[in-house]
């Protein structure tokens, strides 16, 4: 079986793992995220792909006549047209547990960074303004977590361990019967809870219900000026409406690790209130290695069952 690896970097130990099971491995030659016009030429002779976040729509899937399996290095598979894949008998795999700790650590760091006013204190001092603002500890803050999956659960455990006492979890499913969510610091709520939050952190897949979850109407309803953290999918937040919210001082700021289009070339990077990073939340050394290995094992198990 021939497998194309589009995501970069990819550790040589995991390449050797595939080869030890008889896979012929083809590596991304572009040294960057593969672009739509490059996908067909790269994968047309491959039976499987170890994929990043590039889009596999119906048109691409129909053209890739040899493709039998897509193994994502990561959690989300919204970049794949599931309906088309099912019709073409293309199997889809992901690595749901692998990035949880790394993403949760990343978010915890940002939450403390924002609550303790590190971001704006740094900007003020760079302007030679010596100003010590009163900030919030974790126990002072209302923290809204949108989503109830593995990453959200890991993050909430870290927050509680560090002293958080007012955590609101918002999800479409009932989490109250899950023992992992039973703690005096945790309450369950709905979207209305966002209006007076200090921190809002997103941990949801991209669906018709979550697309543009944060938009002009939601921003207008904020009573506090929260910090927004998004490590899930870029389209969860309407980027144009976010610019409006920043310009009208409806939010204090935030951190974006994901964008509607990646690589991102827009002007959100120019807003001083924002931390912008190139989709790195899951890319700790151990997490990346785990995700790559699991994506390989998914294909190995698939091939062994054929």
Q: Are residue 300 and residue 232 in the same domain, yes or no?
A: no
Q: Are residue 135 and residue 233 in the same domain, yes or no?
A: yes
Query: Is a pLDDT exceeding 80 seen at residue 211?
Result: yes
Q: Over the Cα atoms of the chain, what is R_g?
A: 21
Query: Is a pLDDT exceeding 80 seen at residue 306?
Result: no
pLDDT in tens, 122-144: 999 999 999 999 999 999 999 99
Note the pLDDT of residue 127. Answer: 97
Note the pLDDT of residue 23. Answer: 98
pLDDT in tens, 68-78: 999 999 998 99
Tell me the residue range of the domain where 21 lies.
2-96+284-305
pLDDT in tens, 248-290: 999 999 999 999 999 999 999 999 999 999 999 999 999 999 9
Q: Can you tell me the distance from the alpha carbon of 135 to that of 141, in angstroms, rounded to the nearest whole number?
A: 10
Q: Are residue 112 and residue 215 in the same domain, yes or no?
A: yes
pLDDT in tens, 229-250: 999 999 999 999 999 999 999 9
Q: Are residue 62 and residue 143 in the same domain, yes or no?
A: no
Q: Can you tell me the distance from the alpha carbon of 237 to that of 211, in angstroms, rounded to the nearest whole number?
A: 7
Total residues found in the chain within this entry: 306
By the 8 A CB rule, do 254 and 230 touch? Answer: yes
Q: Are residue 48 and residue 190 in the same domain, yes or no?
A: no
Q: Can you tell me the distance from the alpha carbon of 239 to that of 258, in angstroms, rounded to the nearest whole number?
A: 11
Question: Domain of 16: which CATH number?
Answer: 3.40.50.720
pTM: 0.89
Kindly write down the DSSP assignment for every residue of 119-168, as one continuous string.
HHHHHHHHTT---------GGG--EEEE--SHHHHHHHHHHHHTT---EE
By the 8 A CB rule, do 254 and 227 touch? Answer: yes
Q: How many folded domains does the chain comprise?
A: 2
Note the pLDDT of residue 97. Answer: 87
Q: If you ran DSSP here, which 8-state letter would residue 107 be given? A: H
Query: Is a pLDDT exceeding 90 seen at residue 190?
Result: yes
Q: Can you tell me the distance from the alpha carbon of 37 to that of 53, in angstroms, rounded to the nearest whole number?
A: 15
Kindly write down the DSSP assignment for every residue of 210-257, as one continuous string.
TTT-B-HHHHHT-SS--EEEE-S-GGGB-HHHHHHHHHTTSS-EEEES
Q: If you ran DSSP here, which 8-state letter would residue 5 be given? A: E
Q: Are residue 300 and residue 237 in the same domain, yes or no?
A: no
């Amino acid at each position: 079986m021939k497998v194309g690896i589009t995501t970069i970097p990819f550790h040589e130990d995991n390449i050797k793992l595939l080869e030890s099971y008889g896979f012929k491995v083809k590596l991304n030659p572009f040294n960057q995220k593969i672009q739509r016009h490059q996908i067909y030429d790269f994968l047309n002779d491959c039976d499987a792909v170890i994929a990043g976040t590039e889009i596999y729509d119906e048109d691409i899937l129909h053209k890739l006549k040899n493709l039998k399996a897509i193994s994502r290095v990561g959690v989300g598979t919204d970049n794949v047209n599931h309906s088309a894949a099912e019709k073409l008998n293309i199997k889809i795999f992901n690595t749901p547990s692998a990035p949880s700790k790394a993403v949760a650590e990343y978010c915890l760091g940002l939450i403390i960074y924002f609550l303790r006013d590190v971001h704006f204190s740094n900007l003020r001092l760079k302007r030679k303004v010596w100003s010590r603002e009163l900030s919030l500890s974790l126990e002072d803050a209302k923290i809204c977590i949108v989503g109830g999956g593995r990453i959200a659960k890991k993050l909430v455990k870290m927050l509680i361990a560090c002293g958080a006492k007012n955590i609101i979890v918002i999800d479409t499913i009932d989490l109250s019967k899950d023992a992992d969510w039973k703690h005096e610091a945790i309450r369950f709520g709905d979207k209305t809870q966002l209006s007076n939050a200090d921190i809002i952190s997103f941990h949801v897949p991209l669906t018709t219900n979550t697309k543009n979850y944060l938009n002009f109407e939601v921003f207008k309803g904020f009573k506090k000026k929260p910090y927004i953290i998004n490590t899930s999918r870029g389209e969860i937040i309407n980027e144009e409406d976010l610019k409006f919210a920043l310009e009208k001082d409806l939010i204090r700021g935030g951190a974006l690790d994901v964008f509607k289009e990646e690589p991102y070339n827009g002007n959100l990077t120019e807003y001083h209130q924002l931390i912008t990073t190139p989709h790195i939340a899951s890319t700790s050394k151990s997490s990346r290695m785990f995700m790559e290995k699991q994506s390989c094992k998914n294909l190995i198990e698939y091939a062994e069952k054929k």
